[in-house]
Structure 1
Amino acid sequence: MTATALARFAPPLDPDAPEARRWVVDELAKPEYRAAEPTLFDLAAQAVRDWIASLFSGASGLPMPTLALIAVLVVAGLVALGLLVFGLPRLRRRAPAAVPLFDDGDLRDAATLRRAAERAAASGDWTLAVEERFRALVRALVERELVRVHPGTTAHGMARAASDAFPASAVALEHAADAFDGVRYLGRTGDAGTYAAVAALDAELEAARPPADAAAAARTGA
């Protein structure tokens, strides 16, 4: 009777076809088998390797330079295909760090300086408005990398540097620099006309695109 009971719980040694299929499916469903399956990347890489191998399968009699040329052409083709599929990589340009203007620690960007100039003009403080607008003009040129600031750069130095990129505006730039020096260092009082002239020059340069050679040659003056 004990042998009969044990035989009842023992697994069948000769399963029928449906039972055998169920065993196989259950076994392959275990995690260790799933983890061993190749990924889509593995399949794609294997397909590329097989394709490259097929190209050289009958080329054993070719000279080595010819084989090297074929290999280079194959790699170049794969690179071109990758560029077509994924596009050209974008090169990130590091934005230049803000540097103080005219050795006074001012790190505001052009947009902030323009807003400050407009607020000063709206309140009738033309002296401050002229100063802030010229700063905005210079900062905008620095942000566009048309001029560079270094310790000791003066308003007229910036005007001369900007004139390299915008030669047609050289006279207007010198006048704007004169206006800035007057209100900043010489105790002059600004007025609506002077502010309007500096603001118009700022807007004109902002919209202008200098010639490539002139932009490359633009440098800060001393």
Structure 2
Amino acid sequence: MVLTLLFEPLDPDAPEARRWLEDELAKPEYRSAQPTPFDLAMQQVRDWFVSLFEGAVGIPAPLLVLLLVIAVVLVVLIGLLVFGLPRLRRRQRPPAPLFDDDDRRDLTALRAAAAAAAESGDWPLAIEERYRAIVRGAVDRDLVQVHPGTTARGVAVAASTPFPDHAESLRSAASEFDAVRYLGRSGSRARYEELVQLDLALAAATPADAGRAAMAAPR
């Protein structure tokens, strides 16, 4: 009698069978097996590729290859438009103007101008241009931010955070820049060479805390 009850076949009516099925499908293992939005999107892309070649039995193989290449190029172009151009725009952003004279020259141009001034013996201009090169190098590396009203000393203070070992040299270079630009000092070859060495040392140095955001130079 007991065995008969244990093995008696189940014969539910329609509503009860529906309820059993709904309870079974509601279990977590069934929900986790459902396709994700990403899966559905990839399925649509696959179906689109397949639709390109439906009924293509009589199309020559070179034409099929061409169609496939065109489809791949379209996908790549869409990817560039969506993801690539913003990064490209960030890389091509215009250089920030230095100090209050809207100087937007790049690092190479500033170093070349400083070398040309030194070649002609114009030490005030050579010192000024080399300090601008030092500032441009820090700005280009996203270590210092400059704004309208930023002073040479403000840049030196901000740059001392990523380059603590060169803090004193940075302050001295800023003072020399102010002296030749605003106080009419004559400068010298020795002072210019000190700025050249500082520029090269900073370019080769690893910032003390490269993971931090750029320091805003005080005005």
Normalized against structure 2, the TM-score is what?
0.62
Choose the corresponding residue for 2:202, options 201, 205, 210.
Answer: 205
Could you say what secondary structure the match of 1:164 adopts? coil
CA distance in 1, matches of 2:139, 2:196: 17
**Residue 187 of structure 2 aligns with which residue?**
190
**Residue 39 of structure 2 aligns with which residue?**
75
Could you say what secondary structure the match of 1:165 adopts? coil
**Residue 145 of structure 2 aligns with which residue?**
148
C-alpha displacement of 1:63: 2.9
C-alpha displacement of 1:73: 10
Residues 141 and 75 of structure 1: CA distance in aligned 2, closer, same or farther (over 3 Å): same
Write the mapping of 1:1-222 to structure 2, written as runs, cut at 5 A: 62-63=25-26, 65=28, 66-72=30-36, 75=39, 92=87, 94-95=90-91, 96-212=93-209, 215-216=212-213, 218-222=215-219
Residues 217 and 148 of structure 1: CA distance in aligned 2, closer, same or farther (over 3 Å): closer
Identity over aligned residues, as a percent? 46
**Residue 16 of structure 1 aligns with which residue?**
none
Which one-letter code corresponds to 1:67 in the other structure?
A: R
Could you say what secondary structure the match of 1:212 adopts? coil
C-alpha displacement of 1:105: 1.8
CA contact 1:165–1:214 (8 Å) conserved in 2 = no
CA distance in 2, matches of 1:72, 1:214: 36
C-alpha displacement of 1:219: 2.2
Residues 213 and 144 of structure 1: CA distance in aligned 2, closer, same or farther (over 3 Å): closer
Gaps of 5+ in 2: 1-21, 43-75, 77-82
Gaps of 5+ in 1: 1-59, 79-85
CA contact 2:143–2:162 (8 Å) conserved in 1 = yes
Larger Cα-atom Rg? 1
C-alpha displacement of 1:70: 4.3
CA distance in 2, matches of 1:112, 1:189: 23
Normalized against structure 1, the TM-score is what?
0.61
Q: Cα RMSD between the aligned structures?
A: 3.2
CA distance in 1, matches of 2:156, 2:38: 55
C-alpha displacement of 1:211: 3.2
- Number of residue pairs aligned between Structure 1 and Structure 2: 158
CA distance in 1, matches of 2:150, 2:135: 11
**Residue 23 of structure 1 aligns with which residue?**
none
Which one-letter code corresponds to 2:190 in the other structure?
A: G
C-alpha displacement of 1:178: 0.7
